[in-house]
Amino acid sequence: MGNLDGKTIIITGGGKGQGAAEVKLATNLGAKVVVTDVLDDEGNQIAEETGNVYHSLDVTDPEQWSDVVNSTVSDFGRIDGLVNNAGIFGHGGILDSDIEQFKKIIDVNQIGTYLGMAAVAPIMVSQMSGSIVNISSIAGMRGRKAIGYGASKWAVRGMTKCAANELGSYNIRVNSIHPGAIETDMLSGLGDATINRLVSNVPMQRSGTPDEVGTAVMFLLSDEASYISGTEIVVDGGLIA
């Protein structure tokens, strides 16, 4: 028995890292999970390991979102939760950024999150219930040199509040999670020197795990968070404190 018993949850970017951790945690808590990703091999593997279903999904494509939502409702009859986890990172500030990279980051991190919310909202409205969890970042809480990534994560934070305001009367909750230095491919891609410098500034003196982010996500998906909406939970070991 778990606090997500009977719930159907869609998780984007569920093939590896933080998304895969969320798939496993939700499954262990009793949810039926629709695993989505552009990494078909990894996504299928996680779905098979956890006894769930997999759908290939490019989060920037509205038609693919429609297919995933329609299939989920056909298979399970409802959508109780959405975790907009899929995201990409890119370096570059005003002086050295590339417009094409900037647009790509915005497309995946911001537009992808918007499309996910827009795709599931009508179903949740018809149910008069639902929980949407958008994965932002501490880069959505303060300025950083990576301007495309920062812009996208600030946008996710803002869109979360707008959606919470709009959908609250339908008993739909929308919240954002803001991870710090979490042990994923995104962190390891920064290189040892940057990682060591980043972690040295964390009051808890360590990086976080995908499960530690996932546990916060599970809480927001559950009925235990029934009066929490339009807010952000920072999971960073005190880094921005």
In this structure, the strands spanning 232-235 and 53-56 are unpaired
Question: Cα separation of 123 and 118, whole Å?
Answer: 10
Is 70 exceeded by the pLDDT of residue 189?
no
Residue extents of the structural domains in the chain: 8-233
Predicted local distance difference test score (pLDDT) of residue 196: 77
Predicted local distance difference test score (pLDDT) of residue 92: 86
8-233 is a CATH 3.40.50.720 domain? yes
Q: How many CA atoms lie within 13 A of 227 on its CB side?
A: 0
Which residues form the catalytic set?
149
Predicted local distance difference test score (pLDDT) of residue 188: 67
Predicted local distance difference test score (pLDDT) of residue 1: 53
Q: What percent of the chain has pLDDT over 90?
A: 83
Phi, psi of 155 (to 5 degrees): -60, -40
Question: Cα separation of 205 and 11, whole Å?
Answer: 30
Is 90 exceeded by the pLDDT of residue 197?
no
Sheet architecture: strand order including 172-179: 53-56, 32-37, 8-11, 81-84, 130-135, 172-179, 232-235
Is 60 exceeded by the pLDDT of residue 103?
yes
Mean pLDDT of the chain: 94
Tell me the mean pLDDT in the region 142-155: 93
Which helix (H) or strand (E) segment is 19 a member of? helix 17-28
The pTM (predicted TM-score) of the whole model is 0.95
Q: What percent of the chain has pLDDT over 70?
A: 98
Return the higher-pLDDT residue of 113 and 195.
Answer: 113
